[in-house]
Amino acid sequence: MINELIEVLHLGIKGKKADGVCIKLPDTSTLGIISTKNKFPAVPVIINKLKHPYSKVKYLFINSGNANACTGSIGMRNAKDYIRALSRKLGCVSENILIFSTGIIGEQLPIKRIINSINKCDFKFKSSLKNASKAIMTTDRYEKWVVKKFRISGVDIEIRGISKGAGMIEPNMATMLAFIFVDIKMTKSIVNKILYNCTAESFNKISVDGDMSTNDSVAFVATGLNSIDLTNKKNYQIVEQNIHSVFRQLAHMIVSDGEGATKVCKVSVTKAYSLTQANQACYSIANSNLFKTALFGEDPNWGRIIAKLGSLNKIRYNPNDVILKINGITVFMKGVPTNQSNSKKLISSMKNVSIDVEICLNSGSHNANMFTSDLSRKYVQINSKYST
């Protein structure tokens, strides 16, 4: 469906490259949005938050190349101006349009070029998911899009999604954006429930550099094209699981594309005293530079993981009960390294692109995991290069 509802534009922000996407939502759609909690939200985030709860959204409009963040009242006026141009062109009111931006922070949009492009566009909505995902890229190395089909109650359902992001990077480039569509009719409360659950376990469980941008947003649309009885628990579970898997795939594409990343590591904390503590431990280890450089060096450095864990003062456990596994091999238990901690099998497993770290705290029943990338020389190169 959504393929027929995508327009890709050349707004003139990124030279001759496509840098704009307009998505038309079917009239039967229900929309949910989660946006950044950053205290310096970009103009689009502010506008959407004011508008979304009270209006019927018909179009999502995205630009890349400029975040329209830290742009003050001029940035706000620019956004309102291009929304007005869009609404005239699309025959709707401003309230029907939500906007998303990604790119450089602190620079004003080339608003004349943008409005000219909008006025010249014929909005046939005949582009593809792949073209849309390409048009919203900033420092991404590749397009991120997923199509998943499944059958439920005799009906074929499609889930389609795009995302962008590779850390919060290159000079002031920012932002993770994701747009996911499912061909089912849903109430607002079900849309929000699925959006929150799936985001918590996907986009909020990845980390490239522990930074949250001014523009991060995830939009989830139930297009309403098929009716499935979601009051039936089993139906609901199947639908949520399928949607969750699309969220997860899009999130994994982002972490794999982390700047300079050569590896993706799953950090699991198991049997924690509480879920909060499991998440905190995951987050801290996944963001430790010493751990991330060791990953890049293909070094099964249990000492850095244990020292990081030990430094977290709010996590409850008995140090002697902690068991650490790297790629399934127990490397540390009862307070000391095992005789496998330096084994050939372990060392050669570190050459894998996917690395698995599991820390069992044996202090409760709560589990959490997170995906992270390694910290490479290239990360430093990408993030330190900047000509002002």
Residues making contact with a second copy (CB under 8 A): 37-41, 69-72, 105-106, 167-169, 171-172, 174, 209-214, 288-290, 293-294, 296-297, 299-304, 306-313, 317, 319, 332, 334-337, 341-342, 347, 375-377, 379-381, 383-386, 388
Q: How far is the CB of 237 from a second copy (least distance, A)?
A: 32
The residue among 46 and 152 lying less far from a second copy, judged by its C-beta, is 46
CA 63 to chain CA centroid, Å, is: 17
The residue among 297 and 328 lying less far from a second copy, judged by its C-beta, is 297
Which one from 175, 223, 270, 372 is the annotated catalytic residue?
175
CA 233 to chain CA centroid, Å, is: 28
Q: Which long-range contacts (CB under 8 A, 24 or more apart) does 70-76 make?
A: 70/40, 70/42, 70/105, 70/106, 70/214, 71/42, 71/43, 71/106, 71/107, 71/108, 71/109, 74/108, 75/43, 75/108, 75/109, 76/43, 76/46, 76/47
Letter for the amino acid at 254?
Answer: I
Angle at 313 between CA 205 and CA 360, to 5 degrees: 55
Are 97 and 55 in contact, with CB atoms under 8 Å apart?
Answer: no
The residue among 68 and 127 lying less far from a second copy, judged by its C-beta, is 68
- CA pair distance 156, 226, nearest whole angstrom: 9
Q: How far is the CB of 48 from a second copy (least distance, A)?
A: 17
Q: How far is the CB of 335 from a second copy (least distance, A)?
A: 5
Are 71 and 106 in contact, with CB atoms under 8 Å apart?
Answer: yes
Using a 10 angstrom Cβ sphere, with 0-12 exposed, 13-18 middle and 19 or more buried, the burial of residue 371 is buried
139 among known catalytic residues: no
User: And the tokens for 336?
Assistant: 């000391």
User: And the tokens for 198?
Assistant: 């799936």
Letter for the amino acid at 374?
Answer: D
Q: How far is the CB of 11 from a second copy (least distance, A)?
A: 21
DSSP code per residue over 128-157: -HHHHHHHT-SS-SS-EEEEEEEEETTEEE
- CA pair distance 285, 263, nearest whole angstrom: 15
Element (H, E) at 118: helix 111-120
Q: How far is the CB of 88 from a second copy (least distance, A)?
A: 29
The residue among 249 and 293 lying less far from a second copy, judged by its C-beta, is 293
The residue among 145 and 296 lying less far from a second copy, judged by its C-beta, is 296
Are 75 and 105 in contact, with CB atoms under 8 Å apart?
Answer: no
Are 239 and 228 in contact, with CB atoms under 8 Å apart?
Answer: yes
The residue among 319 and 328 lying less far from a second copy, judged by its C-beta, is 319
Are 265 and 372 in contact, with CB atoms under 8 Å apart?
Answer: yes
CA distances from 164 to 125, 134, 175, 205, 371 (A): 21, 9, 8, 16, 16
Q: How far is the CB of 382 from a second copy (least distance, A)?
A: 8
Q: How far is the CB of 250 from a second copy (least distance, A)?
A: 21
Q: How far is the CB of 272 from a second copy (least distance, A)?
A: 14
Positions marked catalytic: 175
